[in-house]
Chains A and B, each alone.
Chain A
Amino acid sequence: MAQAAETAGAKRRPRAAKEAPMTREQLQQAYRDMLLIRRFEEKAGQLYGMGLIGGFCHLYIGQEAVVVGMQMCLEPGDQVITSYRDHGHMLATGMEARGVMAELTGRIGGYSKGKGGSMHMFSREKGFFGGHGIVGAQVSLGTGLAFSNWYRENRNVCLTYFGEGASNQGQVYESFNLAALMKLPCIYIIENNKYGMGTSVERASASRDLSKNGSPWGIPGEQVNGMDVMAVKEAGERATAHCREGKGPYLLEMKTYRYRGHSMSDPAKYRTREEVQKMREQSDPIETARKLLLEQGASEAELKKIDDEVKAIVQDSADFAQESPEPPESELWTDVLIEEAR
């Protein structure tokens, strides 16, 4: 459950409602969405192993509850932006598995026609603004997306995700200042998976409670159990309500964990196998949701149906990603500039 970490000058937030944070239908949807990300990422890892995906490939396995819980708080027109560990965010916003997987294999059917790759995909239609490869750059960009909502005087908010490693970048704090100064509807979500590449958060950040990193600017912050999709949604509801009311930015530190290495070629020697195993066995967000669903009366058959549906989507995406052709050579020259008739 969410543990409030009230910041120094911030007003007390309203207490969480007593009723369950999710209906059974919502929990089932969350389970399905998290499972889709898990299976998709496993498949991506497999295709990488087969040489079908090149370059860097950063998997989201273990962190699924964060994006799925947050996405449940969004309204049409809201924006999402994140770093290079972005496949989960794309699937959570409703982007098609086929288009994402085909981008990973560098094919014309990919969201960027094969020209962006794992770290650079976008869907204006789904409100997903990337996919950014420079650590921390998306934090200023997300602040700008929030600015566009402020400028248009609408109710929309921007979810700006970044890792605890990126939270040491200077532009993060420039953005905090700007957002707080202008009261921009920006929710900063630090996905603290404990390791920035191979460096643990304790070795990289002098701040011991990242949820307080916005406190000099009066940005309210909370630490959230990012392995619990219901806790994430609960905190997300508070954050989005705050932003939609015009009260300015909000900061959520998601305590989460990635099971895999930083990228596919990371042997992860900076932590023990036992540490990873313990998280998997005791805190897995999908297993937790599955147990809860069974307790609430869901049948094994119902869950099996979800598992099968998810597997079929992922397998279809993998097939599509191999069958879709490579981009034609003419694509080399397109999309450098927009040329308009004057």
Chain B
Amino acid sequence: MGVQILMPALSPTMTEGKLSRWLKKEGDEVRSGDVIAEIETDKATMEVEAVDEGTITRILVPEGTEGVSVNSPIAELDGGGEAASKGAAPGQDTAMPQQPAPPAAASQSVGQIAKQAEDYGAVAQRGAERGEGAAKAGEAAAAPEKDWGPTKPMTVREALRDAMAAEMRADDKVFLMGEEVAQYQGAYKISQGLLDEFGARRVIDTPITEHGFTGMAVGAAMNGLKPIVEFMTFNFSMQAIDQIINSAAKTLYMSGGQLGCPIVFRGPNGAAARVAAQHSQCYASWYAHVPGLKVVAPWSAADAKGLLRAAIRDPNPVIVLENEILYGHTFECPTAEDFIVPIGKAKIERAGKDVTIVAYSIAVTWAMQAAEELAKQGIEAEVINLRSIRPLDAGTIANSVKKTNRLVTVEEGWPYANIGTEVAMQVIEAAFDWLDAPPVRVCGKDVPMPYAANLEKLALPTQPEIIEAVKRVTYK
């Protein structure tokens, strides 16, 4: 029995085509790679090459025939002494299988065949074991905040530095790279002293080349190192966002679990002061949108130290959104050697019964100040510091709303598809019946950041806006 040549699909969407010309006739010998016919698809005229070798014994579809279905036989070859290709054997069902194809005349079961493929079979197993954890990531454990014992005052800047130093001491695979991180001691002095302690191999000054050095760091992480990439500000991460999303976040999935990317991207995010539109925006929504990334946004020194340590230890890519204005602020921070803040856990910074205010990063400061003011007016606000943007601690938020029945979110990001939108939607899904008023978002205005001092102030959320929002949801 010979081999049938089938009408090929020549594009992802082709179902039939015109056999416009035969370049071989009956009796001709063909070798693999020879052009045997021309076919017109909906888009173009394409050449068909022979795969099997032999002599054309019969042409089944004459040239000029239109509407020839993909996979229908168009000619026959004698075997040419070659074993007939099973793929092109006549009578075989060649439709794209929706169900696993049955093993054709195979002596082994499908399961056995799959098991033989060691390199990838083991990978499949690991992935399957891991899968449930990933699906649960969004659900928060309601464990109480751990008491870490004694604290001391510390700036956010020192806390970030201490976190990196501690993790670099513990693991030689951890290193820091970025613009001005080494000799200059950090554009915002976050990496002060690290070059002295760890040397130029582990604290690396890069040229101003975000796309290149981010890709380089991601490649190093794929091969098992644990880079901390400092962006001088997150605005510059836009130059590198393809490597962060397409390479760092997706490769684990695309490799079936083989190639993780343990990397931290950190730096100041959001508005600083009077640096205008290109240097003042919040990237929380951008990165939080992406499966395969974790995103945290510390507020206090304890958040900064604990979350950055957790981020460095995390086997996944983690975005750490810091805030330049907060760098110099002092907070009490636990002194325990092993202090860490788990990713995915929000913190109730202030308990209250009348309204839940959800905020992150510097907006926690604004929310806390507004809560003090509201207390004077007899409204007790519960302030939740998200700390982690993705995964989101939806459980803590929902539990709070079930108590207060009211929700206000505060952030400096733009309103459209911002984090407050996500928080509100998750509350609606989880606790709609407990809400006594529609949630209200307080956020940055929907404009690029202006330079003028008065306009910049207007563009950011203000304390009166937060108080006004709380009064709206409490009908006061």
A residues sitting closer than 8 Å to B (CB atoms) are: 39, 42-43, 45-52, 54-56, 61, 79, 81, 95-96, 98-99, 102, 107-116, 120-126, 129-134, 137, 139-148, 151, 170-171, 174-175, 177-178, 181, 259-261, 264-265, 267-269, 273, 280, 311, 315, 318-320, 322-326, 330-331, 333-340, 342
| Contact, CB under 8 Å: A144 / B223 | yes
In the complex formed, the residue of B with least CB distance to A143 is B216
Contact B87 A43 (CB under 8 A): yes
9 A-B contact pairs sorted by A residue (CB < 8 Å)? A49-B48, A51-B94, A124-B259, A130-B251, A130-B254, A139-B215, A178-B209, A267-B45, A336-B292
Q: Which residues of B contact A (CB under 8 A)?
A: 6-12, 14, 32-33, 35, 41, 43-49, 51, 70-71, 82-83, 85-88, 94-97, 99-104, 106, 110, 113-114, 117, 119-121, 123-124, 127-128, 130-135, 137, 175, 201, 206-207, 209, 211-225, 242-243, 246-247, 251-260, 291-292, 294, 315-316, 342
A79-B223, A112-B258, A120-B255 are known contacts; what are 4 more A-B pairs with Cβ within 8 Å? A151-B175, A151-B220, A336-B292, A337-B294
Question: How far is A107 from B94 in the complex, measured between Cα atoms in Å?
Answer: 15
Q: Complex: how many Å from CA A267 to CA B255?
A: 31
Bound Cα distance A333, B46 (Å)? 39
* Contact present for A178 and B212 (CB under 8 Å): yes
Q: A99-B120, A319-B86, A335-B131 are in contact. Are A143 and B252 (CB under 8 A)?
A: no
B65 to chain A, nearest CB (A): 17
A96 contact set on B, CB distance < 8 A: 117, 119
With CB as the reference atom, state the residue of chain B lying closest to A277: B35
Question: Cα distance A56–B13 when bound, in Å?
Answer: 11
A144-B82 CB under 8 A given contacts A122-B259, A123-B258, A324-B114: no
- Determine if A336 and B252 form an interchain contact, defined as CB atoms under 8 angstroms apart: yes
Report the bound CA distance from A137 to B9 in whole Å: 30
Q: Are B113 and A109 in contact (CB under 8 A)?
A: yes
Chain A contacts of B46 at CB under 8 A? 261, 265, 267
- Structural contact, A137 and B243, CB atoms closer than 8 A: yes
Contacts of A110 in B (CB 8 A): 120, 256
- Return the contact of B215 from the options A112, A133, A175 (Cβ within 8 A): A175
Q: Is there an interface contact between B110 and A325, defined as CB atoms closer than 8 Å?
A: yes
List residues of chain A with CB within 8 A of the CB of B212.
Answer: 140, 143, 171, 174-175, 177-178
Q: Specify which of A95, A115, A335 is in contact with B130 (CB 8 Å cutoff).
A: A335
- Beyond A139-B215, A267-B46, whether A109 also contacts B70 by CB under 8 A is no
B209 surroundings in chain A (CB, below 8 A): 174, 177-178
B221 x A144 contact (CB < 8 A)? yes
Q: Is B256 within 8 A of A115, CB to CB?
A: yes
- Quote the shortest CB–CB distance from B47 to chain A (angstroms): 8
In the complex formed, the residue of B with least CB distance to A341 is B133
Are B255 and A116 in touch, CB under 8 angstroms?
Answer: yes
Distance in Å from the Cβ of A255 to the closest Cβ of chain B? 21
Report the Cα distance A129→B252, complex, angstroms: 11
A331-B256 Cα distance, complex, nearest whole Å: 9
Nearest CB of B to A249, in Å: 12
Task: For the complex, give the distance between the alpha carbons of A265 and B49 in Å.
Answer: 13
A contact residues around B133 at 8 Å (CB): 337, 339
Nearest to B41 among chain A residues (CB) is A265
- Given A140-B214, A171-B212, A145–B127 Cβ distance below 8 Å? no
Closest chain B CB from A141 CB (angstroms): 4
> Given the complex of chains A and B, what is the CA–CA distance between A326 and B124 in angstroms?
12
Q: Could you tell me if A178 and B213 are in contact, using CB atoms closer than 8 angstroms?
A: yes
Q: Which residues of A sit under 8 angstroms from B102, Cβ to Cβ?
A: 323
Determine whether the beta carbon of B120 is less than 8 Å from that of A333: no
| A47 and B87 in contact, given A124-B258, A175-B215 (Cβ under 8 angstroms) | yes
User: In the complex, what residues of B have CB within 8 A of residue A99's CB?
Assistant: 117, 119-120
Residues of B within 8 A of A145 (CB): 219-220, 222-223
Contacts of A320 in B (CB 8 A): 113, 117
Q: Which residue of A lies closest to B225 (CB)?
A: A148
The one of A51, A123, A143 in contact with B9, judged by C-beta atoms closer than 8 angstroms, is A51
B219, A323: Cβ atoms closer than 8 Å: no
A137 B247 Cβ-Cβ under 8 A: yes
5 smallest beta-carbon distances between A and B, as pairs: A144-B219, A140-B215, A174-B212, A49-B8, A339-B133
- Chain A nearest CB: distance from B79 CB in Å? 12
Q: Which residues of B contact A151 (CB under 8 A)?
A: 175, 201, 220, 225
Nearest chain B CB to A1 CB, angstrom units? 26
Contact A323 B101 (CB under 8 A): yes
User: Is A112 a contact of B9 with CB atoms below 8 Å?
Assistant: no
The verdict on A147 contacting B215 (CB below 8 Å), with A43-B87, A325-B110 known, is: no
From residue A54, how far is it (CB to closest CB) to chain B in Å? 6
* Residue among A102, A115, A123, A171 with most chain B CB within 10 A: A171
- Of all chain B residues, the one with the shortest Cβ separation from A79 is B223
Known A-B contacts A95-B119, A323-B113; the reply to A113 vs B256 at CB < 8 A is yes
